[in-house]
Amino acid sequence: MTKHTSPKGKIYFSGSLQGIKHKDPNFSYGLVQYMKSNGYDVLSEHVAARTHDEQDDIFLEKTGIDRRNPSTNDPWISAYKIDMDWVDEADYLIAVVDGASHGVGMEIMRALLKEERGLNKTTILCLVHEDNLDKLSWMLRGVPKEYNNFKVSTYKDLESAIKVVCSLLNTH
C-alpha cells in the first residue's frame, strides 16, 4: 500500500458497508465526489461506491487487494489493517452515522485516540440525517467535550450535507 498525497488533505470517509445502507445510493458517492473534486484525497472512497463491483474495483485499485479472490490473501485482516492505517494517515474523518455500524464506531474511536498515540489530531465530522437524530448512538452523543475535534451535524439531503462538509473543510 502506498502513502497518499494531496495538496489539501486526506479524508477517511466512513459509512456502513454491511449494516444500514443509505436510502439513496448516490448520496455517499456524491459526497465523496465533491471532496475529491475540491482537491482532497479520499483514502477510503470505496465505501461510497454505488455497487459491490464498483466497491471491489476501487479497493483493488487503491490497495492491490482483490476482495473477490480471498484465496490470494486474507481480505478481513487486510481490510482491517488498511482501514486503520488510513484512519491514522487522515487529516479528517467524515462518517455517515445514520444507523448502527460496528466498523464505523471503531474507526471513529481510532481517530479520537490518535493524538494520545502521538499521531496528528484528526478533525471528525459525523453526519446524521435529521430524521435519524433521535436514534443516534448514545456513545456518539456522549463524546466528551475535551475532544474539540469531534462534531455531529445533521443533514436533510446531499446538498445540505455538502454544505456542512464544505464549511468544515474551509475552517480547518
- pLDDT tens-digit map of 106-152: 999 999 999 999 999 999 999 999 999 999 999 999 999 899 999 99
The grid cell for 17 is 458497508
DSSP state of 142: T
Q: What does R_g of the chain's alpha carbons equal in angstroms?
A: 15
Residue 74: predicted pLDDT: 67
Considering only residues 137 and 19, tell me which one the structure prediction assigns the higher pLDDT: 137
Q: Which helix (H) or strand (E) holds 123?
A: strand 123-129
At 73, the pLDDT band (50, 70, 90 cuts) reads: low
Question: What value does the mean pLDDT take over residues 93-105?
Answer: 91
Mean model confidence pLDDT for the chain: 88
Q: Burial, 165: exposed, middle or buried (Cβ in 10 Å; 0-12, 13-18, 19+)?
A: buried
Phi/psi for 72 (5° steps) reads -90, -10
Residue 61 CA to residue 53 CA, distance in Å, equals 12
Phi-psi region of 9 (alpha: psi -120 to 50; beta: other; left: phi over 0): left
Is the domain 10-171 a CATH 3.40.50.450 member?
yes
Considering only residues 74 and 171, tell me which one the structure prediction assigns the higher pLDDT: 171
Phi-psi region of 4 (alpha: psi -120 to 50; beta: other; left: phi over 0): beta
Question: What value does the mean pLDDT take over residues 14-41?
Answer: 83
**Residue 130 CA to its chain's centroid (Å):** 19
* Predicted TM-score of the model (pTM): 0.89
Residue position matching grid coordinates 486474507: 74
At 68, the pLDDT band (50, 70, 90 cuts) reads: confident
